[in-house]
Structure 1
Amino acid sequence: MTYSGDVTPGGAPAVRELDRLTITKLSVGPMDNNAYRLRCRSTGEQVLVDAANEAPRLLELVGDGGLAAVVTTHQHMDHWVALEEVVAKTGARPLVHADDAAGLPIEAETLSDGDTVAVGDCALEVIHLRGHTPGSIALLYRDPAGTPHLFTGDSLFPGGVGNTDRDPERFGQLIDDVEHRLFDRLPDDTWFYPGHGGDSTLGAERPSLPQWRARGW
């Protein structure tokens, strides 16, 4: 089945098989949050991006393969409701950007811009995107056999950047970081996976950047 990225709360996950990495996307309620299980195809090591909610479903998704780490893309509660239980039951390392660490319910190892998170033989690059929260991050996987894949949390969605509460300073930070650290660095075929809703590509969104900047949100 062709991967579309369309998932619904309570529904089946969507699975995308890359050459070295398997991406499994699951939507959890009640806020239609996306959680992503990343599995290295050569070693079997797994990492979870955002233990958002519904810990039993996330643990079922992890299965018996163990979990190396849980990366939280930012400190907002709807992205970490299941974090404490998932970490307790799997022994996974909790990871978050240093500027958002205080907002989590458990102590976590901290990340900085440019760090890498290993998923077996695969690597995720940490990209700091200020504005939605002080420590929001995206995770970049550069597929050696294909296009880049980008997990953007709530910093970038199809149709715009994340919520900055109409704060001009925060919006300026976020639109600048998204433009310069994502769109200026990565090609149009980069596929991105947001914290809620459907996926898109940078190429599909790139023409709208001036409109986003002009409208201020």
Structure 2
Amino acid sequence: MAMTYTGDVTPGDPAVVRELSHLTIAKLAVDEKMANNCYLLTCRESGEQLLIDAADDSAAILQLCDGRLGSVVTTHQHWDHHRALADVVAATGAPVSAGAPDADAITDQTGVEVTYRLQHGDVVPLGRCSLEVIAVAGHTPGSIALLYDDPDGHPHLFTGDSLFPGGVGATFGDAQAFATLIEQVTTQIFDRLPDETWFYPGHGKDGQLGNERPHLAEWRDRGW
């Protein structure tokens, strides 16, 4: 099944699913205007589930997880990535994790307390699987990526809005924020992970690091 997965999703359509040896990844697009991606990860052995970004459309998210959600990770503080967080947490009781520098802003915007304030290098358990937290400040101070290092295949990286096919995330004209983001994406993602790493961004199509690596200098020179 993994070979037929493309990662192409459209808001309003069913989730697309990627089956790994130990983990299932379901990608759901929500909101026609923003086209946010939500990712439901399920440990195949334990059945435990983790949602990355309750971005919008709580009904679709709750239908996807079938009421068995164990936790929610919010990749960063921007409003379009947590519009459904309050409803999802109210329905499931799932604890919420987020990068520590963004946690207060997420609570202020959603009314949801962040249970776990994540730091670079933390490990988020998911049944028999686990995800490593990679801090990538710049898009927001507390933006994080989540790495699943598949023991039977290549790494899988959930990047929020920090990395997309074609460039890093927006830094809204802030030169220092861009310098931080491009440096951290380079050193903590590209310098560490192999070309076959498949990454899953907060909007749009997936990518592979090997396709983007040749363009890092170009991104740095253009400043966005």
What's the TM-score, normalizing by structure 2? Answer: 0.95
State percent identity of aligned pairs: 59
Give the letter for the 2:130 counterpart.
A
| Structure 2 partner of 1:184 | 191
| Structure 1 partner of 2:129 | 122
CA distance in 2, matches of 1:199, 1:171: 22
| Structure 1 partner of 2:66 | 63
Give the letter for the 2:122 counterpart.
D
**Is 1:14 aligned with 2:21?**
no
CA distance in 1, matches of 2:123, 2:77: 19
Work out which of the residue numbers 21, 34, 37 in structure 1 matches 2:37: 34
CA distance in 2, matches of 1:188, 1:211: 18
Give the letter for the 2:11 counterpart.
P
Give deviations 1:152-195, integer Å, cap 9, x for gaps: 00000000000001211000000000000000000000000000
Partner of 2:212, secondary structure, is helix
| Structure 1 outlier segments of 4+, above 6 Å | none
CA distance in 2, matches of 1:99, 1:107: 14
CA distance in 1, matches of 2:200, 2:47: 22
Work out which of the residue numbers 55, 74, 77 in structure 1 matches 2:76: 74
What's the TM-score, normalizing by structure 1? Answer: 0.98
CA distance in 1, matches of 2:74, 2:139: 14
The CA RMSD over aligned residues, in Å, is 0.7
| Structure 1 partner of 2:210 | 203
* Runs of 5+ consecutive residues of structure 1 not aligned to the other structure: none
Aligned-pair distance for 1:72?
0.1
CA distance in 1, matches of 2:199, 2:55: 18
Partner of 2:66, secondary structure, is helix
Aligned-pair distance for 1:45?
0.2
Number of residue pairs aligned between Structure 1 and Structure 2: 216
Give the letter for the 1:164 counterpart.
T
CA distance in 1, matches of 2:200, 2:155: 11
Aligned-pair distance for 1:102?
1.3
Alignment of 1:85-104 (within 5 A): 85-104=87-106
| Structure 2 partner of 1:148 | 155
